[in-house]
Amino acid sequence: MEKANSEIKLVDFIKKSNVEFIENELRTFLKIPSNTLNRAGIIRAKNYLLSYISDISEEINEYKGKMNPLIIAKVQGKLKESLLIYMMYDTQPINKENEWISNPFDAEIKTLPPPLDKLGNCIIARGAYNSKTPLLCFLNIVKILKREKKLPISLILLFDGDEEKGSPSLLTFLEEKHNKEIFNNCLDAYYPATKQDLSKKSILKLGYKGILSITIKISSRNTEPHSAFSGMIPNPALDLVSLLNTIYANNRFQINSLKSPYKITPDEEYIIGILMKELDIEKIKKKAGIEQPIEKSPEKAFINYLYTPTFNISTLKSGFMEEGIKNYVPNQAICNLDIRFAHDATHEEIFKEIKEKVEKFSERTTSQIEIIKNIGYESSRVRKDSVLVKSLIESANKLKVSTELWPLSAAAAPLSKIQRVLGLNFMTGGLGIGGFAHSANEFIQLDSIINTRLSYYYFLREYSKLQLEKLRFNQINQQNP
């Protein structure tokens, strides 16, 4: 009875402190312009976080990073084994500021234009959804539990300051062998997020695609003469098009690692079968602004979305870019492209095959070719019966929110490196309704923030309980082999 009363008091306190938390802590944090390349804003956000966790952390370390500081803090709880908590404090920059209904760093409380006006009051701010709100909500719950001496498990807090640029600091940090020792005591990794859709379902995706982002530059030393000379000299634009066709042609990869279709597992097939009974593909397409899809069949379109490896050209630049026509031979062509894949391949393997294609193509042109790897990380998975997934589902159930499982996210995440390098399962999840990440009018629904905070409380409680049961079970098995 005493334990039940204690829980009631904690839940009641979390509810009663919600307004004060939003006004005095969350909105203050959201007003800091911490886009990745804004050095002053990044430092302000970092200092805010350092101050916020100073009284709950037994140890805090700051690492310089390739772009922005990486912060790692240890917080001691009842269970000595730790849960790694990944959080990002940088945001995307502001584009198309005239499309915002309020200043993106005023964190104003407003109603969105129709049809989202039905959500009621929302905080409009860059980072409100992705992902400064879940970051601070989670830390706030940790502060409350730590102060009440009720934190059920030890935590390692990892704050990433350049996630929006592919997390170069984190990836480099994890590659250094001696840094891995920091995480020896970790059981899993968790990324607090607000993952309810507009129907209020909690969406849990059991993995991410891998990604390889590269730039290809082709150039000549010529001074862009008239096209009458095109029979005498190399054409970098033509070379680039021809080179790309050796990598990807006729809607198919020409490299071995991604040439064969992805083999869907029985578990994935089962989850897809359930999803297709409830999922509205037309709503997904409408939200993404898709008016001209490749595949008409909803099920085939969804499977392609999740599992077909993509070859996306985001930049293709060469030749005369002004109005009118100018017949000349360009001396430079540049291409930025990203490859997303569900396959069990490494980005190093994929890049190596592409580099071999470039080297072979170079033998038949006098143009100079440069290939640059921007970012790369592998795909990842977590089992639906893992402690992480069970805990997130149960935390949603406590708040009477149903959960929808996806076998995979079509997005990629640097957190995949945590699984690959540290051998830890990781999961993104949590309650709260928000949207427009990377776009104008990024928001978090005001009334959903209480559930965001409560879901983290229930998640920590449930996760530590299940892990304790698992650890005790393993101990008994070791004693009685």
Strand partners, 73: 60, 157
Give the residue from 381, 417, 448 showing the smallest Cα distance to 198. Answer: 448
pLDDT at 481: 63
- In this prediction the pTM is 0.89
When comparing pLDDT for 291 and 234, which is higher?
234
pLDDT at 18: 98
When comparing pLDDT for 282 and 33, which is higher?
33
Q: Please, what is the Cα angle at 281 between 277 and 284, to 5 degrees?
A: 130
The yes-or-no verdict on residue 109 having pLDDT over 50 is yes
Q: Say if CB 56 and CB 155 are below 8 A apart.
A: no
Residue 296: pLDDT band (50, 70, 90) is confident
Mean pLDDT of 255-283: 91
Cα 13 to chain centroid, rounded: 31
The per-residue pLDDT for range 166-189, each reduced to its tens digit, is 889 998 999 888 899 999 999 999
Residue 6: pLDDT band (50, 70, 90) is confident
> Please, what is the average pLDDT of the chain?
93
Instruction: Map out the domains of the chain with their CATH numbers.
Output: 2-206+382-479 (3.40.630.10), 208-262+308-377 (3.30.70.360)
Percent of the chain topping pLDDT 70: 98
The yes-or-no verdict on residue 406 having pLDDT over 90 is yes
d(CA 30, CA 45): 9
Residue 479: pLDDT band (50, 70, 90) is low
The yes-or-no verdict on residue 41 having pLDDT over 50 is yes
pLDDT at 1: 35
The per-residue pLDDT for range 250-259, each reduced to its tens digit, is 999 999 999 9
Mean pLDDT of 355-362: 97
The first and second tokens of residue 334, run together, are 């540049």
Helix (H) or strand (E) holding 235: none
pLDDT at 95: 84
Residue 290: pLDDT band (50, 70, 90) is confident
CA distances from 270 to 127, 265, 305, 386, 405 (A): 35, 9, 17, 17, 11
